[in-house]
Amino acid sequence: MELDGPLIPKKKNSSLKVVALLSYLANGFWALMFLLLFLGCIINAGKVEEVVQMDGVFEGLIYVMAGISIVMVMISILCIYGLSELVKGNKSGTRIYLICNSIWVLLVFYASAGSFVYITLGLVSVIFMLIIMMLSKDNQLEESNIKA
């Protein structure tokens, strides 16, 4: 087997992997928390109705919270999936991660009501999004230089 030119080893972007690992941990944590909230809503929905006696108002709100919890679990899982695709080198992973994390940030800012904790969580997510965008752009530039 003859080679036309020297092989250039593919350079791995270790900083992208570190940021992705931190994002995996954070998104996994939030997926677990919202899954626990969902289970708590489902288990306690009937019990709240027995205690409060308000013609189903609280039970309906609990089911709304259960629905929101499932949506947040799905967003966290999609963020993890997008990151795994990004680390593999697929450009679609960046889009999936950024879209899902943007939805997360919007919901966090909407729910903040001026709370310092929520605003801080939202800003941390925005910083992670910016870092991921920079690192994914650098990773794409390195791959295009290697191919050229």
Lowest mean per-residue pLDDT among 31-45, 47-61, 67-81, 132-146 = 47-61
- Beta-strand (E) ranges in the chain? none
Write down the pTM of the prediction: 0.75
How far apart (Å, rounded) are the C-alpha atoms in residues 94 and 128? 12
Provide the pLDDT for residue 9.
Answer: 45
- The model's pLDDT over 73-114, given as tens digits with 9 standing for 90+, comes to 999 999 999 999 988 888 888 899 999 999 999 988 888 787
| Inter-residue contact 56 to 49 (CB < 8 Å) | yes
Cα–Cα dist 139/125, whole Å = 21
